Amino acid sequence: MTTPTTTDLTGTYVLDPTHTRLGFVARHAMVTKVRGSFDEFEGKAHLDFEDPTQSSAEITFQIASVSTGQKQRDEHLRTNDFFDAETYPTGQFVSTSVTKDGDDYVLAGDLTLKGITKPVSITWESTGTAKDPFGNTRVGFEGRATINRKDWGIEYNAALETGGVLVSEKITLEFDVSAIKQ
């Protein structure tokens, strides 16, 4: 079997939703972390492995698909206290530039939540390439970014009796991506 070249890998890709996670982490009650994800999304990218600056990506996710593994919390996240899924049913990220930083890639773009669009930079690590059993060329990436949820109008909180707040303002975005070449 031959190793794919950068020319072989360059092209248009779509996210594989069964092998991709669009997640987030928030500190809860100042003592632990709560992890969540959006389970319904679609995304595509043009990846140029010879000139990464020519790459681009776009992801749209359904806000009502938010899942933390706890039904009552998920329902609260869908309300206006957090994402307001009824008024703003989708969130979106659209890249504006890609740069290479050592072995990593930095994908800058615009994240839209609750009708508010702000710039975000996501650092990505390539996790590999493979030809799957069905003949598809796959690429994998892991990405992270830290944002302040208040920048997108997500301001709900509650003071704790012992000091501090119920939900951290700082949110870590986590991405585990498997994409299939078209």
Q: What are phi and psi of 38, to 5 degrees?
A: -105, 120
* CATH number of the domain where residue 145 is located: 2.40.128.110
Report how many domains make up the chain. 1
110 part of a folded domain: yes
Is 161 domain-assigned? yes
In a domain, 1, yes or no: no
- 110-124 pLDDT, tens digit per residue, is 999 999 999 999 999
- Greatest extent of the chain over all pairs of C-alpha atoms, in Å: 62
Name the token pair of 86: 């009824």
Asked whether residue 105 is assigned to any structural domain, the reply reads yes
Q: Is the pLDDT of residue 7 over 80?
A: no
pTM for the whole structure: 0.92
- Domain assignment present for 97: yes
> What are the pLDDT digits (tens) for 40-84?
999 999 999 999 999 999 999 999 999 999 999 999 999 999 999
**Which range marks the domain in which residue 149 is found?**
6-181
